[in-house]
Amino acid sequence: MTIKDFLKSLIQIAKSDLAASNLLFSNGFYLQSTFYLQQGVEKGNKAFAIFNEFIKVDEIKHLGHDHIELHKKGINLQLGKLKILNDDRTEVREFIDTIASHTNIDYKGYIKSLEKSRDIKNDWQKFNIVEITGEELAGLLEEIDFEIDEPADTSKETRDKLVKQLKDKLQGFILPLVHKLKNKYPAIEIDEIDTFFLDDNNLDELAHTMLDFGEYLRKFIPAFYKIYILGFILYPLVSKVRYPDFEEKFDPMNIFTINHPLVNQQPRLHKLASTALGILESIMNVPISI
């Protein structure tokens, strides 16, 4: 089975879990509906992690239900890359900001969101399923219920202008970088790289490709953030419901009533999780019906 086929199957199962959760909720089986919701979100997190190459398919069986470890490697990897870019390469940062402004992505806000996710892990008790308040949950859902709008003006004139700006940025930091590499590693043959970036047609094609990549980011980042934070909210269900501590006299049937925040907010939770999975499907270009 290919990775793409595996992801298709995993997303299909995740959507089936969400559908089961929705059906159970509508019939008043709140504990069961919450459990299936958590299962769907967990599989969604694993699908996103595999898609991003944070983990390999054969690593899933070693992760169990804990999606935190699943994303930890990926987040640290991205933060490490960004730390390198922010050292003294201001031209690189300017180039990233150019792409960010084209796609309406707040670059600093995205980094802040990753750091915030790590803070949530450090303050785990705040999100205990028994103690979380309706206000806390509503605040979290409001924060992750966002999309990055498409640019209002998609005319050829505007796109050509953006391409020119990107080409200028490419010439502004890649060519100097190539020459630095030549000086540092004279034995490496990189004349072809130099020639490539001096060719206006190549730069034009590359800039258009980067704009398309920006469109991918515009769709992907909100979806990833949704499924990731939903995993943080729902993960304690595994230890509290699947493996209850009888010494605590914890009765999940008495906890998950319609008055519990994770129950009365479930229609919105279903929508957020389904939206995230749908975006991943569209990016993979593998429409799935269940």
- Token pair belonging to 36: 């299936």
Q: What's the mean pLDDT in 153-179?
A: 63
| Cα separation values, 48 from 40, 52, 243, Å | 12, 6, 26
SS (H, E, C) 113-163: HHHHHHHHHHCHHHHCCCCCCHHHHHHHHHHHCCCCCCCCCCCHHHHHHHH
- Between CA 88 and CA 94, with CA 91 as vertex, the angle to 5 degrees is 115
pLDDT of 206 > 80? The answer is no
Residue ranges per domain, the chain?
Answer: 3-284
Using an 8 Å Cβ cutoff, are 276 and 223 in contact? yes
Sheet strands (E) in the chain: none
pLDDT of residue 126: 42
- The more confidently predicted of residues 274 and 149 is 274
pLDDT of residue 264: 92
Q: What's the mean pLDDT in 158-178?
A: 63
pLDDT in tens, 52-91: 776 778 877 776 665 555 555 544 544 444 444 443 444 4
For residue 160, the one-letter residue type is: D
pLDDT in tens, 19-37: 999 999 999 999 899 989 9
User: What percent of the chain lies above the pLDDT cut of 90?
Assistant: 16
Does the pTM of the predicted model rise above 0.85?
A: no
Residues 6 or more apart whose Cβ sits within 8 Å of residue 172: 91, 94, 95
